[in-house]
Amino acid sequence: MTTPRYDVMPTMLDRRTTDEFAYHLGPATTLGELDQAALDQFMLDLGFASAAGRKRILTATLAEVIETLNSQIGVVEYDDKNFGDLIGTNIRTLCGNLCMEAPIPARGRDTFVRN
């Protein structure tokens, strides 16, 4: 059984799922493909015509999303280390794709490996 990764990351703990997004973000179909150009295209597809506006919204939103996820690593690790590692791995992937430094504690997490 395979299924796309929908809007919730916990499904990724089930190694029978795929890492596909439920919908494309620009041309990106997986987190590994998600970069600044894909996000910019996604915003353009949503109707944000101003390049400066897209950049301003993405910069603010990405920083908030990364910080929110990063702040939850310790909370979820209390119940499930794999989930904490998954969040940390995804933060590092996203930050790497966007040429950003991953924050601590995400930077120091074990890598979550899908078999």
**Residues 71-89: tens digit of each pLDDT:** 999 888 767 888 899 899 9
Domain presence at residue 82: yes
Total domains in the fold of the chain: 1
Residue 11, pLDDT score: 67
- pLDDT (tens digit per residue) in 36-62: 999 999 999 999 999 999 999 999 999
Q: What residues form DSSP beta bridges with 69?
A: none
| In-domain check, residue 33 | no
**Distance separating alpha carbons of residues 12 and 19, to the nearest angstrom:** 7
Q: What's the CA gap between 49 and 83, in Å, rounded?
A: 37
Q: Could you tell me if 1 and 75 are in contact, meaning their C-beta atoms sit under 8 angstroms apart?
A: no
Q: Would you say residue 56 lies in a domain?
A: yes
CA distance 10 to 21: 13
Residue 58, domain extent: 49-115
Would 11 be classed as within a structural domain? Answer: no
Residue 27 has what DSSP assignment?
T
